[in-house]
């Protein structure tokens, strides 16, 4: 068989994998948005079946033959990178017995459904037995994959290749010192915003109208995506031409849906603008969760919480808002949406305390996977860390350990990407300002120029580049958390008149 014939057959295998993946992602989207509760048990079985099929294809003898035949021999750069990605996946998945993987995925989808009920009731005990099994699976998988220093590193590599607990411990420790000092200064300020000005009943359909308008202005392609409602907001790329955004509405606090939708919209723009040459390959997605998160946080914080954004959109906002907002001054409104105040819920956290939420989760799951703590102790330890880092203590599991869906989905090693993404976003924002008049573009609503810059620098590459390679190419340096500290210090010194 010639190289060309082998390449074509390899492409066909990749297409087959993608077909199963699209079916799986569509079912996962449905499970989290539209599926009736009584159908969840059987749906979990189907999700387990599809996941098993993908696992089998990725670890098949045929896949290994293609990897061996094409590695270092194909002149097609996309195929060469695809082979590299498939080899990494093959080596990882081949170490997990097929039946064991199916059991894990079935448990995973069931646990997500149980999490929904547990969260509604604020009862961690409902989820605990599922979480214990998931942790056991993850520890076992990490041992299969291997690691050099800490077992948690094997899970980190799934989401942020090249990052280790050693790196995170160092970076988070330094960032925590800077953030807590800044929060302390803000707390001592006598020039505090008044968030009560924003706490008026805001009908869900009106919030949705404003959210849809902002997504449109950001450049979200509604012919290649949609917006739906869910318990825990997420974005999912079925494929680059079908990228779905979800949000959660709180009629007493519009900020939940508006900023949440913009955040997920940032994820979606990444997925929608991947280069077509990568379609139907394993490269047609974000290069890492950290880089992915940098795009969502860029839009949510560096654009949508910017003063210029609201100078341009305040009248638009009022056209959707109820009468209580009509006489609200711009300055009071802008300062109120940027209030710094410790909160129980991560996705409601302000810019300054957000990373502290991530550090709490990182420290808990690292200790959990490392066998230093047990699942049954999570609610108490969570509350202790919240009190230690943020000065507040949840009164229920709903506002504490049950607020995020990630652990019920088995996503251990995922949370650090949120804080890494925030640091990446600040660094990318700093680099963008050297090439574009970012403040002017935001103030004038010229978001498509920002989208185009991000598309050219980040989005189009998909997984053709590694995360730290993207960061280095875009900013000219490795990870530097000082840009985030500088951004927060400058912005909140002005708002709180420090």
Binding site per annotation, positions for Zn(2+): 263, 267, 293
CA–CA gap between residue 371 and residue 192 (Å, rounded): 43
Other Cβ atoms less than 10 A from the Cβ of 477: the count is 11
CA–CA gap between residue 448 and residue 455 (Å, rounded): 10
Place of tokens 């060309």: 4
Q: Name the catalytic one among 264, 271, 307, 363.
A: 264
264 counts as catalytic: yes
Binding residues, as ranges, are 263, 267, 293
Quick one: which H or E segment has residue 167? helix 165-188
Q: Which H, E and C letters describe the chain, residue by residue?
A: CCHHHHHHHHHHHHHHHHHHHHHHHHHHHHHHHCCCHHHHHHHHHHHHHHHHHHHHHHCCHHHHHHHHHHCCCCCCHHHHHHHHHHHHHHHHHCCCCHHHHHHHHHHHHHHHHHHHHHHHHCCHHHHHHHHHHHHHHHHHHHHHHCCCCCCHHHHHHHHCCCCCHHHHHHHHHHHHHHHHHHHHHHHHCCCCCCHHHHCCCCCHHHHHHHHHHHHHHHCCCHHHEEEEECCCCCEEEEECCEEEEEECCCCCCCHHHHHHHHHHHHHHHHHHCCCHHHCCCCCCCCCCHHHHHHHHHHHHHHHCCCHHHHHHHHHHHHHHCCHHHCCCCHHHHHHHHCCCCCCCCHHHCCCCCHHHHHHHHHHHHHHHHCCCCCHHHHHHHHHHHHHHHHCCCCCCHHHCCCCCCCHHHCCCCCCHHHHHHHHHHHHHHHHHHHHCCHHHHHHCCCHHHHHHHHHHHCHHHCCCCCHHHHHHHHHCCCCCCHHHHHHHHHHHHHHCCC
The catalytic residue positions are 264
């Amino acid at each position: 068989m010639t190289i060309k014939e082998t390449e074509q057959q390899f492409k066909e295998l990749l297409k087959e994998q993608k077909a199963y993946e699209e079916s799986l992602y569509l079912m996962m989207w449905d499970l989290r948005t539209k599926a009736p509760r009584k159908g969840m048990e059987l749906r979990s079985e189907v999700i387990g079946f599809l996941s098993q099929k993908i696992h089998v294809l990725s670890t098949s003898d045929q896949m290994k033959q293609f990897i061996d035949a094409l590695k270092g021999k194909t002149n097609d750069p996309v195929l060469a990178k695809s082979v590299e990605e498939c080899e990494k996946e093959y080596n990882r998945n081949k170490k997990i017995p097929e039946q064991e993987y199916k059991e894990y995925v079935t448990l995973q989808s069931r646990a997500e459904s149980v999490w929904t009920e547990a969260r509604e009731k604020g009862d961690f005990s409902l989820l605990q037995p599922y979480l214990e099994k998931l942790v056991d699976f993850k520890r076992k998988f990490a041992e299969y994959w291997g690691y050099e220093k800490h077992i948690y590193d094997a899970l980190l590599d799934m989401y942020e290749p090249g990052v280790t607990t050693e790196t995170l411990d160092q970076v988070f420790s330094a960032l925590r010192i800077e953030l807590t000092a800044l929060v302390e200064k803000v707390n001592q300020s006598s020039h505090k915003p008044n968030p009560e000005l924003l706490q008026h009943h805001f009908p869900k359909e009106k919030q949705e109208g404003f959210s849809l308008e902002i997504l449109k202005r950001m450049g979200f392609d509604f012919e290649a995506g949609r917006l739906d409602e869910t318990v825990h907001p997420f974005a999912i790329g079925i494929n680059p031409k079908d990228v779905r955004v979800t949000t959660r509405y709180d009629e007493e606090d519009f900020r939940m849906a508006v900023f949440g939708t913009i955040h997920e919209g940032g994820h979606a723009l990444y997925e929608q603008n991947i280069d077509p040459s990568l379609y139907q390959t394993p490269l047609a997605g974000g290069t890492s969760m950290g880089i992915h998160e940098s795009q969502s946080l860029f839009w949510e914080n560096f654009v949508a919480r910017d003063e210029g954004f609201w100078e341009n959109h305040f009248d638009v906002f009022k056209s959707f808002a109820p009468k209580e907002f009509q006489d609200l001054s711009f300055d009071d409104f802008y300062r109120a949406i940027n209030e710094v105040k410790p909160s129980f819920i991560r996705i409601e956290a302000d810019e300054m305390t957000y990373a502290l939420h991530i550090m709490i989760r990182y420290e808990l799951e690292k200790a959990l996977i490392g066998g230093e703590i047990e699942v049954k102790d999570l609610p108490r330890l969570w509350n202790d860390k919240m009190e230690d880092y943020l000065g507040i203590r949840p009164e229920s599991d709903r506002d504490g350990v049950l607020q995020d869906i990630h652990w019920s989905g088995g996503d251990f090693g995922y949370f650090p990407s949120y804080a890494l993404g925030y640091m990446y976003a600040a660094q990318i924002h700093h680099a963008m300002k050297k090439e574009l008049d970012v403040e002017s573009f935001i103030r004038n609503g010229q978001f498509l120029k920002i989208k185009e810059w991000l598309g050219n620098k980040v989005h189009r590459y998909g997984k053709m580049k590694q995360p730290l390679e993207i960061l280095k190419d875009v900013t000219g340096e490795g990870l530097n958390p000082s840009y985030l500290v500088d951004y927060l210090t400058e912005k909140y010194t002005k708002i709180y008149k420090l």
